Amino acid sequence: MAEAHYPIQVVARMTGLSAHAVRIWEQRYRAVEPQRTPTQRRLYSPGQVERLGLLREVTQGGHSIRLVAQLPTEHLRRLAAEAARRSGSAPPDTT
């Protein structure tokens, strides 16, 4: 079965980012590289959605997108978990 892919507006709702931020992070920082339909619409995988959500969390925690955009997803998970522990909130669900 093919992996599900999400259009940018769905990704924006799922991650709490604006569609504009998703596009900028993709173009300027190469944070993710979505697939494209024949009509050039972006489609994001579940892993990319997770990655964008983690990037949102760590940037809200004070990290610069410029510095974290290229980190491996596992490293982003650790940064997000550390930030959650420091703030006293539950760690993010990465399932």
pLDDT-derived band at 89, boundaries 50, 70, 90? low
Whether the pLDDT of residue 84 is over 60: the answer is: yes
Alpha carbon 4 to chain centroid, angstroms: 16
Task: Please give the model's pTM, rounded to 2 decimal places.
Answer: 0.87
Whether the pLDDT of residue 94 is over 70: the answer is: no
Q: Give the integer Cα–Cα distance in Å for 95 and 30.
A: 23
Q: What is the mean pLDDT of residues 72-88?
A: 91
CB 52 within 8 A of CB 19: no
pLDDT-derived band at 85, boundaries 50, 70, 90? confident
Residue-wise pLDDT for 13-69, tens only, equals 999 999 999 999 999 999 999 999 999 999 999 999 999 999 999 999 999 999 999
Q: Give the integer Cα–Cα distance in Å for 93 and 95.
A: 6
